[in-house]
Structure 1
Amino acid sequence: MSKPRKPKGRPVSGWLILDKPVDFGSTEAVGKIKWLFNAQKAGHAGTLDPLASGMLPIALGDATKTVPYVMDGRKIYEFTVSWGEERSTDDLEGEVTQSSTERPSEEAIRAVLPAYTGIIQQIPPQFSAIKIAGERAYDLARDGETVEIPSREVEVHRLTLLKAEKDRAFFEVECGKGTYVRSLARDFGRELGCYGHISELRRSFVAPFAEEMMVPLEELVELEKIEDRDERLAALDAFLVDTGEALSALPQIRITDDQAHRLRMGNPIILRGRDAPVSEPEAVAFAGGQLVAIGEVGQGEFRPKRVFN
C-alpha cells in the first residue's frame, strides 16, 4: 500500500489582504501569493475582474475554511461610469454594442439612484461567472452566444454619487454578496438614455477587513530580494491576519485547552457559566486566543462543525 503524498509547501495559515493591481486576475493573484508564501493551500474570497483593483482577501491554509464567511460580507466599491457607450462586457474590455451622443445631467443621475438602493432585481453581465446549463456565462459569451441570464435579488445598502462630469460620473456603493457593479453601470446608462460602462473600479472594503489592512502586491514581491529563505518567509508572514479575524461577526466562546482538545477530536463540550450562550446556530470557540472551531450551540453544548489546527 503506497504512502499518502506529503502536501507541498508550508502549513502556513492566515489571511493576506491583498491590494490587487489592475490587469492582474484573481486566480493569478492567488497563485502568486501561494508561491511567495510557499503555502500548501490558498484561495480567495470574492473575484475581482482584471480591470478592477483593490481588496482581494486571500486565505492560506486553515483560513480557507473561513472563506464562505468573508464571501457573505458587505463590500464597498468606488467606480467610474463613462457615458455614451454600452459594451459587451459592461466595462472597458468589451466591444461597443450601443452608443449615444446624449449625456445625463447631475440632477438626472441623482434622480435614478433610489431605484438602485435596497433589495433590487439585477441581471448579471453576459461576461460573468454565472452558470447557465452547467457552463459559465463568460465561456458562452466568448463563443459568440447570447444567453438569457435570469435576474436575481441583490442588496445595495448605500449608493452615492461622488462627482459628475460631462462624459463620466464617479460613485461609491456598499453592497451585499452577488452584486455586479458592471450591471449597475449598464442599467444606469439604459435608464438615463445615454448608455454607459465601467471605466474604473476599485474595491476598498470586504467585511470584516479594513482598508488599512491592504498590502500592495509590489511590496510583497520586493521581499523576494531577501536571499535568506527563513528571513524572507518571516517577513512575508508578518503581513498575515489571524484566521479568526474572518469570524469576528459570530458569537465568541472562550474555552480551556482541555476543551479545545475535545473539539479537535470532533467531540462536543459542555458550556458552563452564567454568560454561556443557550442557543446559537453558529459560534466560534477560542482557547488562549487561538481559533479552535466553528460550531453550533444547543442544550448546553458546543458541537463542532469545523475544527482548526
Structure 2
Amino acid sequence: MQRRPLHGVLLLDKPLGLSSNDALQKAKWLLRAEKAGHTGTLDPLATGLLPLCFGAATKFSQVSLDADKAYEATLKLGQTTTTGDAEGEVLDTQPVSVTAEQIAQVLAGFLGLIEQKPPMYSALKHEGRPLYEYARAGIEIERPSRQVTIHSIDMLSWQADELRIAVRCSKGTYIRTLGEDIGRLLGCGAHLSALRRTASGPCQIGEAISLDALAAMTEAEREDMLRPPDSLLQEWPALRLEASEAARFLTGLRRRLLPRPATDLPHVRVYGPEPGAFLGSGHVTAGELIADRLLSPQEVQSLLAPAPGLAA
C-alpha cells in the first residue's frame, strides 16, 4: 500500500473488544497514513472516544493525554472480581440492599481531590514491565496511592444490581478502582461491567465516527473526517504572528511580545498571518513567547493547502 503524509486528528468511536492500538492500525490503514498515534489507551472492554493523531498532530498527543476525561460506567453491584471488571474471576458475591439516597450520598463523597491506588491489572510499569503481567503471574506489587480529581459524578440509572454513573475526572483516574470503591462503601461490593468514554478535553463522543462507518466511506470522505492538528489545543489562547515573526518562531527563536501580556501564559497555540497557518505551541513568560512544539515548514505548507477535511 502507498502510504502518504496526512496531518490531522480523527475522533474514533472505539468498538468493544478491540485494543486501542488495533483500532489505531485499522484507521491508519484505511487512511493510508504514514505516521499515526493514539492519545491514551482504552481497554478492549471499553468503548467510546479515542482521538487518533496523524502526522504533525502526533506532536500534540500529550495534550489529549493530560486533558480531563468523561465516562459513562455501568457497575455490577454485589459482586467483586479479581480484575475489578467483567473479565476477572468472581471473588465474592453479596446481597444488594441499598437505597437511592445511599447511592447519592456515596457518590457525593468522591467529589473533588481523592486518593486512588492504581489496580494491578493496569498498563502502569514496574521495572519495565506492565503491572498486568505481574498480576497474571500471581505477583502483587506495592503501588503507592496518587491523587486524582473527580469533577462530577452522577447517577444515570439504577435497577436492582446495576448502577450506571456519569463521571468527569482528571487524567489518570481509574474508573474500575472508582467502581470498586463505590461498591465497598455501599457494603455490597461491585465491579465494572461496561465503560464508555464520552469526552476528552474539548472532544466529544457525538463528533466521533466508528471504524465500520469509516470503512464504508470513499478515501476523500475519510480525509474529510480529519480535524486540523490544532483541534486538540482549542482550549488554549491563540497568538497570531506577522510573516517575519512567524518565520523566526519556526526556528525556535524567542520573541518579545508587544504589548506585553498582563500575565504569563503556560500554553498558547501560535499561528502565522495566513488562515490555517498553525505553527505550533508555546508559552509566554515575562513577556516573551517561547516555542514548545513546532511544526516543520513543510507541515505548515501542507496545512495552508489542505485536503477538504483539513481546512482550519
TM-score (norm 1): 0.89
Out of 21, 34, 43, the position equivalent to 2:15 is 21
Q: In the alignment, does 2:277 pair up with 1:290?
A: yes
Distance 1:103 1:50, change over 3 A: farther
- Is 2:80–2:180's contact at 8 Å kept on the other side of the alignment? yes
Separation (CA, whole Å) in 1 of partners of 2:126 and 2:163: 32
Partner deviation per Cα, 1:51-98 (whole Å, 9 max, x = no partner): 111100111111111111111111111111011211111111111122
- Give how far 1:299 is off: 4.7
Alpha-carbon distance in 1 for matches of 2:185, 2:127: 30
CA, structure 1 residues 52+175, in 2 after alignment: closer, same or farther (shift >3 Å)?
same
Aligned pair partner of 2:203 in 181, 200, 209: 209
The 8 Å contact of residues 260 and 287 in structure 2, kept in 1 or not, is answered as no
Asked if the contact 1:86/1:99 (under 8 Å) is kept, the reply is yes
Residue number in structure 2 paired with 1:280: 265
Q: What corresponds to 1:244 in structure 2?
A: 230
Identity of aligned residues (%): 37
Deviations 1:117-176 (A, max 9, x none): 100001122211122233211111111212222211000000001211111111101101
Pick which of 147-156 and 278-287 moved more.
Answer: 278-287
CA-to-aligned-CA distance 1:260-293 (integer Å, 9 cap, x gap):
2222222233433x47566323322112232102
Tell me, yes or no, if the aligned pair for 1:37 and 1:237 is still in contact at 8 Å. Answer: yes
Match of 1:185 in 2: 179
Task: Name the CA distance, whole Å, in 2 between partners of 1:124 and 1:140.
Answer: 14
- Report if the CA contact (8 A) 1:103-1:167 is conserved: no
Of 42-51 and 252-261, the range deviating more from structure 2: 252-261
Q: Using the alignment, how far apart are the partners of 1:210 and 1:84 within structure 2?
A: 32
1:307, distance to aligned residue in structure 2 (A): 0.8
Match of 1:253 in 2: 239
* RMSD value, Cα: 1.8
Tell me what 2:294 maps to. 307
Cα distance change, pair 79–306 in 1 and its aligned pair in 2 (3 A)? same
Name the SS of the counterpart of 1:215 in structure 2.
Answer: coil
**Distance of 1:276 and 1:258 partners within structure 2:** 20
SS in 2 for 1:197: strand
Q: Alignment length, in residue pairs?
A: 293
Contact preservation (8 Å) 1:263, 1:269: yes
| Alpha-carbon contact 2:269-2:281 (below 8 Å) kept | yes
**Aligned amino acid, residue 122 of structure 2:** S
> For 1:41, which of 27, 35, 45 is the aligned residue?
35
What does 1:133-148 align with in structure 2 at a 5 Å threshold? 133-148=127-142
Is the contact between residue 49 and residue 204 of structure 2 (CA under 8 Å) also seen in structure 1? no
Give the 5 Å matches for 1:164-183.
Answer: 164-183=158-177
Amino acid at match of 2:62: P
> Would you say 1:265 and 2:251 are equivalent positions?
yes
Task: Tell me how far 1:105 sits from its aligned partner.
Answer: 2.3
Amino acid at match of 1:294: S
Q: Deviations over 1:205-255 (max 9, x none)?
A: 1111133321111111113xx5xxxxx2x2211001111111122221011
Q: What is the identity, as a one-letter code, of the residue corresponding to 2:279?
A: V
| 2:96–2:161 CA contact under 8 A, matched in 1 | no
Structure 1 stretch 245-254 or stretch 298-307: which is displaced more? Answer: 298-307
Tell me the CA shift for residue 39 of structure 1: 1.5
Deviation for aligned residue 1:300? 4.2
Q: Show the counterpart of 1:11.
A: 5
For residues 113 and 292 of structure 2, the distance between their equivalents in structure 1, rounded to whole angstroms, comes to: 31
Which residue of 2 is the match for residue 4 of structure 1?
none
Structure 2 counterparts to residues 61-72 of structure 1, below 5 A: 61-72=55-66
Partner of residue 103 from structure 1, selected from 97, 108, 111: 97
Structure 1 unpaired stretches of 5+: 1-7, 227-231
Is 1:84 matched up with 2:70? Answer: no
2: CA distance, partners of 1:103 / 1:146: 32
